[in-house]
Amino acid sequence: MPTIDRWGDQSVMNKFTVIHLSDVQLPSLPKTGEPPTPRPLQTIFDDVLAHHLAPDLVVIGGDLFKNGQAADYRWLRGYLDQQSQRLGAPIRVILGDQDNREAFNAGYLEQKRPYYAAKQVYQNMDFYFLDSKWRTRRTAGWLAREQLDWLNKNLHLAPRRRAFIFLHHPLDAPALRSLRYTLLQNNHELLAILHGHNIGGIYAGHLNFAANYLVDNTLPVTVVGGATAYVDCQDPHHHQVHAAVSYNVITIQRGVASVTTRPLAFDPQVARTIEVANTGFAKHRPRLMRPVDWERG
């Protein structure tokens, strides 16, 4: 089930800094020998330290591995614990479409969960980390009904606190019309729950390019560029992939967030092309989970 952590409250609202990166897409560990240094991930952490950004929180927004195994996620947990000590800040991860939920549960969490959602409280701000990985579809996102109910309950428990939401899949917007096949598919269900609440921002990844827009005319959505790639989607049916490294610095003060993008590398050479046929929303909703499915995670 989702978890809730509470950080120490302070009487004065201070600047709060979040490092947000996504789509790490680490390769599986070698069967023999020492694990290689995760270069783009290490590059980002080193840049954070070199520029004295002093984060209060680091969020890795999904696609941790490409079809990773339990041993991969177990190693990642240890590596991130070390980096958390270096940065002096907790590191939160969420799942992306390319992640293996069963392997993540076994290796990273060491427990079975139907989804991985959590909440952290700092001063008068709530940070939600949602699991938008869709079990039955590779790229599109979906928030389970039980997870939405949990979010709804927690928002009502603290209606005055400013809430910031992190998930892997972005919400729909006119500029992303040709990418609807890969966005969050049940946007309206999430927006219905968020309506009327004190939402400071929604933060996503997945697209491998940066974007900023409003949904419902009021809710700001920020999409962070990829930690290992940039994807040019100008042609809706032929997406060009470039090697690239970037991350976002989110600065929150008095409940208002501003975002700075830090691009660290970009290769103009096209590494590969992603062919896309149908660009519209998925036609089918995921089946309802039975109790046995929840037990399997």
pLDDT at residue number 5: 62
DSSP 180: G
DSSP-assigned beta bridge partners for residue 220: 214
DSSP 123: T
H-helix or E-strand spanning residue 86: helix 70-87
Query: Furthest-apart CA pair in the chain: how many Å?
Result: 54
Tell me how far apart the alpha carbons of residues 240 and 270 are, in angstroms, rounded to a whole number: 6
Q: Which of 213, 205, 211, 210 is nearest to 183 (CA)?
A: 205
Residue 257 dihedral angles phi and psi, to the nearest 5°:
-105, 140
Neighbouring C-beta atoms of residue 225, cutoff 10 Å: 25
Torsion of CA 37, 43, 163, 294, to 10 degrees: -20
Instruction: Report all structural domains of the chain as residue ranges with CATH numbers, in order of start.
Output: 3-296 (3.60.21.10)
pTM of the model: 0.91
Q: Rounded to the nearest 5 degrees, what angle is found at the Cα of 50, between the Cα atoms of 243 and 12?
A: 115
Cβ neighbours of residue 110 closer than 8 Å, sequence gap 6 or more: none
pLDDT in tens, the chain (297 residues): 576 665 544 433 589 999 999 999 998 888 876 677 788 999 999 999 999 999 999 999 999 998 899 999 999 999 999 999 999 999 999 999 999 999 999 999 999 988 999 999 988 899 999 999 997 777 999 999 999 999 999 999 998 899 999 999 999 999 999 999 999 999 999 999 999 999 999 999 999 999 999 998 889 999 999 999 999 999 999 999 999 999 999 999 999 999 999 999 999 999 999 999 999 998 777 665 443 333 333
Contact between 166 and 130 under an 8 Å Cβ cutoff? The reply is yes
